Amino acid sequence: MPARAPPPDEVSTLIRQNRELNEQVKQLVRAERQLYLSRREVERQLGRTHALNRFALEAGGASEPGEILRALSEMLAGLFPFEQGLGLLVQGGRLVPAAVFALPGREGKGEEELSGRAIALDRAFADELPSPRVLSEPAARKELPRSGPLLDLLSHFFCERAGCPVQPGVVLWLPLWRKPGELAGLLLMRKAKEETTFHCELPADRDSFLEVAARHAAAAVSNALLLDDLKRSYGTLERTQAELVAKERLAAVGELAAVMAHEVRNPLGVVFNSLGSLRKLLGDVRDGAALLDMMEEEADRLDRIVGDLLDFARPKPPNLLPEALEPIIFGAIETARRAVPNRGVDFQVEVRGLGAVVMDSRMIRQALVNLLINAVQALPRGGRVRVLASEEARGGEPFARIEVSDDGPGIPSESAMRLFEPFFTTKASGTGLGLAVVRRFVEAHQGEVAVETSPERGTTFRVLIPVGRG
Amino acid sequence: MGTAVGVGKSTHRRCRTAGSTAAESALAGLGGHKPGLVLAFATAGYDQEELLRGVSEVTGGSPLAGCSAEGVITHEGSDEGSHAIGVMALASDRLTFDTFSSGDVSAEPRSCGERLSEQLRAAPAGGKLLLLFADGLTANCTELLAGLTERLPYPVAIVGGTAGDLLNFKRTYQYCDGRVASGSVSAVLIGGEARPDIEVSHGCDLIGLEQTITRAERGFVYEIEGRPAWAFFKEYLESDAEDLDALTVAHICLAELLPRANLDYGEHIIRVPLKLEKETGALFFAGGLKAGTRVHVAMRRPERICERAVASARRIAARHPGEDPLLVLQFDCAGRGRLLFGERTNEASIQPVQRVFGNGVPWLGLHTYGEIAPVEGRAYFHNYTLALCALYGAGGS
């Protein structure tokens, strides 16, 4: 039996309901599309947030501003189609290149080309760029009229390469503002061509994400610079503290030395006078004269020790006068010869093209005597002591360089490190003040003294003092 | 020697370096043998001519086929960046390779297919698998396949995809024996002891009432249910949508009833519009819909896409127990990659499929603007699908 046709009213109701359902389906599809677009945007923003967090962590742990700029470039190249980056820091009113970044195949001239390419920071240019801009290179030349030198710098880094034709690209100008009016740096990110892909679009001009990233970077760069300043301040503080302690010690030693000098030298004066009187009284009595010689020698030694102590602990300001160095060297050699019995030591002196040197000749002579005595004492079986004086330039200034070398067995490294410390000695009868006095006198001339020693080549003390002609 | 296959990839930004680097990596898998075939898929950020020069520098005069892609797929995953190239090199004394090409697929798709068919007839007999890489923007691939299959000299499995251009929809490129062309078809016939196994899957659901295409011509659909096609589509989009962008293309599509349904594939074949003719409101479908065709609107379902892709890979593997394929080629719609899954593309849709065959199987694929694969023995042009082709040797490799 054939199915009964539905009544016409029912058919029209069904058709109407069907149409209504179809309209509802369309609405659902539109809603799903909105949902899809929203989800896509949320994923995009999440991706950016994750990238920013990773960058913040990396930048927070970086101690070099260049590292921070490289990390920022890498993050931006991961999110946007940029291929090259150049990070600049503001230093002393200039924009100084501090980091380069490039994807494989887009490399420029590299880190080694960074130095010597600083350009003056044009304040007006900084004012032109309050927020991130994404501009083609021709557009940048129009809209940022002062951007020319920076575009030229980019070309220098990334375009002038054999086989790499220069193509106008798109540049992200990302100013790193520490706070309004205070620029910490500038990051330029470049893409060779203007075409982009669907999945990796250029950021919008004045993109707020870029502003946040720039603020992070500026803060991290500032922190890194502050940390660097802090480290340097700590270093200075440590040195100052050490100097202060040394000075206090020296002052105490100086007081002691003054008292000791007074208490020892007065009796010594009496001893010397008495010795003189005894010589006259005893006349030619041989044994007596020998005993007197011995007493005088020991009294002399005591006097020298007191003298060394005073030189070290209460040095007088140098009396600077221009003098020739050569006679001072020969005088010092003669004193050293007398001070140490001759053990077959051969002295060689060479003075090369050195005119008058502004110095306290007493101090320099005493310093040389001390060095020469040390050198002779290092040659118990004889040998050669060489004195070489010449002129050398340092930082554009002329310096007198005096080297005292022996061909002895050298100094053990553990001793060499402490040679200039006061009261440090390896000799049974030494006071440990000879080399400390050398350093004190040389430093009083704004000079420096150093030692090189090895078992094969002996020991060389090198003294540098400014010639001071000007 | 049997068959050796190597795959290489590069993302280097310099075109020639990228081409040569990827080719060198691919050749490293051939044990010093000269390749009998080189397949290359590359994204459109490269100067394609310069890129192929880089590949040819390394592969010499070996036959080269392939196309530009929306993305490149290897065991490293899917890469839809502006600069990525994947190269597969094959050397074999058991397989044969012949390359062909045919131009003018845009204006005369059926003739183009017929010319390919004639070239097949002229080639040595015994072809088992025909790979096709066609222009992704201008080719009416249904007509192309009709012209090709009407007079095939012998049955041959047909699989392939259409070229992409990073979803810019401007121009795609085909690699025809080392030359770069547009508006063309590049083809490779693989013969000898080859046993291809192909599966195709989509993950779309039909929605709403069945509709009829009321006016269509040369791939352009002018009217659906008597209304301009674009106006019809806009009812499912925002009313102020002005152009057919990638996000729209990825959102809704049409489903056409298959003459013979397949249990795994389903009853409908998916059709996606690629171009909007703004003056007329007509939409271009590379699937070539005709007037009178009854269609449904369809929407993709991400979970279903993943499930069906893995299921199709498992079906292939199940048909070859204990056997590894010589290689796998993956033709995956551009709408199923980053556009749908975002940063999760690899973990969601690529790696699960690759895991079915294991990491040791040479793998090369691309994100296409359309896929070509058989359903119930007949080659169709598809959209929104994964066409997976595993090539097995004689009795296993």
Of B209, B246, B252, the CB nearest to A198: B246
Q: What DSSP element (H or E) covers A395?
A: none
The rounded distance, in Å, linking the Cα atoms of A345 and A348 is: 10
Q: What CATH number should be reported for the domain holding residue A406? A: 3.30.565.10
Q: Which of A109-118, A271-280, A436-445 has the highest mean pLDDT?
A: A436-445
Residue B111 token pair: 């003739």
Residue A210 token pair: 């870029």
Residue A246 lies in a domain: yes
Please indicate, yes or no, whether residues A308 and A329 belong to a single structural domain of this protein: no
Mean pLDDT calculated for residue range B276-299: 92
Among A37, A23, A38, A24, CA closest to B251: A37
* pLDDT tens by residue, A106-155: 887 766 666 777 888 887 887 888 889 999 888 888 888 888 888 888 88
Query: Which residues, at least 6 apart from A296, have a Cβ–Cβ distance to it below 8 Å?
Result: A272, A275
Mean pLDDT calculated for residue range B304-332: 97
Q: What is the pLDDT of residue A162?
A: 44
How far off is chain A from B253, nearest CA to CA, in Å? 12
> Which chain B residue shows the shortest CA-CA distance from A39?
B342
**Beta-carbon separation of B18 and A105 below 8 A:** yes
pLDDT band at A1 (very low <50, low <70, confident <90, very high): low
pLDDT at A166 over 70: no
This model of the complex carries an ipTM of: 0.84
Please indicate, yes or no, whether residues A336 and A459 belong to a single structural domain of this protein: yes
CB contacts of A104 in chain B (<8 Å) are: 11-13
Please indicate, yes or no, whether residues A358 and A241 belong to a single structural domain of this protein: no
What SS3 state is found at A283?
A: coil
Residue A448 lies in a domain: yes
Please indicate, yes or no, whether residues A295 and A352 belong to a single structural domain of this protein: no
CB contacts of A43 in chain B (<8 Å) are: 342-343
- HSE (CB half, 13 Å, CA atoms) of B299? 19
Mean pLDDT calculated for residue range B143-156: 93
pLDDT at B241 over 80: no
Q: What is the pLDDT of residue B96?
A: 96
Helix then strand then coil, % of chain A, to nearest 5: 55, 20, 25
Q: Calculate ∠ Cα B94-B189-B21, nearest 5°.
A: 80
- Give start and end residues of each alpha helix (H) in A319-431: 325-339, 361-377, 413-416
pLDDT band at A428 (very low <50, low <70, confident <90, very high): low
Q: What is the pLDDT of residue A227?
A: 87
Contacts 24+ apart (CB under 8 A), B267-271: B268/B204, B268/B206, B268/B296, B268/B298, B269/B375, B269/B380, B269/B382, B270/B202, B270/B204, B270/B298, B270/B382, B270/B383, B270/B384, B270/B385, B271/B295, B271/B383
Q: What is the pLDDT of residue A194?
A: 58
Mean pLDDT across chain B: 93
Residue A467 token pair: 């010639």
Residue A209 lies in a domain: no
Mean pLDDT calculated for residue range A186-213: 86
Please indicate, yes or no, whether residues A76 and A159 belong to a single structural domain of this protein: yes
Please indicate, yes or no, whether residues A453 and A349 belong to a single structural domain of this protein: yes
Please indicate, yes or no, whether residues A358 and A445 belong to a single structural domain of this protein: yes
Sign of CA dihedral B73, B75, B77, B79: negative
The rounded distance, in Å, linking the Cα atoms of B125 and B112 is: 21
Please indicate, yes or no, whether residues A449 and A344 belong to a single structural domain of this protein: yes
pLDDT at A279 over 90: no
User: In degrees rounded to 5, what are phi and psi of residue B9?
Assistant: -140, 150
Among A186, A167, A208, CA closest to A83: A167
- HSE (CB half, 13 Å, CA atoms) of B343? 15
Q: What is the pLDDT of residue B396?
A: 46
B18 at A interface, C-beta within 8 A: yes
Of A29, A47, A106, the CB nearest to B252: A29
The residue among A313, A333, A356 that closes a domain is A313
The rounded distance, in Å, linking the Cα atoms of B234 and B213 is: 16
**Beta-carbon separation of B236 and A33 below 8 A:** yes
State the residue range of the domain holding A246. Answer: 233-313
What SS3 state is found at B121?
A: helix
pLDDT at A206 over 90: no
A414 at B interface, C-beta within 8 A: no
Query: Which residues, at least 6 apart from A126, have a Cβ–Cβ distance to it below 8 Å?
Result: A175, A183
**Beta-carbon separation of A199 and B252 below 8 A:** no
The rounded distance, in Å, linking the Cα atoms of B340 and B343 is: 9
Mutation for testing the A interface, residue in B21, B53, B205, B236 having most A CBs under 10 Å: B236
Q: What is the pLDDT of residue A2?
A: 64
pLDDT band at A328 (very low <50, low <70, confident <90, very high): very high
* pLDDT tens by residue, B114-142: 999 999 999 888 899 999 999 989 989 99
Please indicate, yes or no, whether residues A241 and A139 belong to a single structural domain of this protein: no
Residue A374 lies in a domain: yes
pLDDT at A10 over 50: yes
β A458-466/A448-454 pair status: antiparallel
Q: What CATH number should be reported for the domain holding residue A100? A: 3.30.450.40
B72 at A interface, C-beta within 8 A: no
Q: What is the pLDDT of residue A304?
A: 75
Q: What is the pLDDT of residue B262?
A: 86
Contact assessment for residue A451 and residue A415, using Cβ atoms and an 8 Å cutoff: no
Q: Which residues pair with B64 in a beta bridge?
A: B38
A106 at B interface, C-beta within 8 A: yes
Please indicate, yes or no, whether residues A13 and A48 belong to a single structural domain of this protein: yes
The residue among A261, A295, A313 that closes a domain is A313
Which segment of A55-59, A253-257, B69-73, B101-105 scores lowest on mean pLDDT?
A253-257
How many separate domains does chain A show? 4
Q: What is the pLDDT of residue B397?
A: 42
The rounded distance, in Å, linking the Cα atoms of A119 and A150 is: 8
The rounded distance, in Å, linking the Cα atoms of A26 and A28 is: 5
Residue A227 lies in a domain: no
The rounded distance, in Å, linking the Cα atoms of B133 and B185 is: 6
Contact assessment for residue B182 and residue B171, using Cβ atoms and an 8 Å cutoff: yes
Residue A30 lies in a domain: yes
How far off is chain B from A82, nearest CA to CA, in Å? 11
**Beta-carbon separation of B81 and A197 below 8 A:** yes
Please indicate, yes or no, whether residues A334 and A413 belong to a single structural domain of this protein: yes
B207 at A interface, C-beta within 8 A: yes
Q: What is the pLDDT of residue B163?
A: 97
The residue among A313, A341, A361 that closes a domain is A313
Residue A226 lies in a domain: no
Please indicate, yes or no, whether residues A373 and A301 belong to a single structural domain of this protein: no
pLDDT at A276 over 90: no
Mean pLDDT across chain A: 86
| Percent of chain B with pLDDT strictly greater than 70 | 99
Residue A430 or B383, more confident: B383
Contact assessment for residue B367 and residue B373, using Cβ atoms and an 8 Å cutoff: no
**Beta-carbon separation of B166 and A37 below 8 A:** no
Mean pLDDT calculated for residue range A283-296: 77
Residue A214 lies in a domain: no
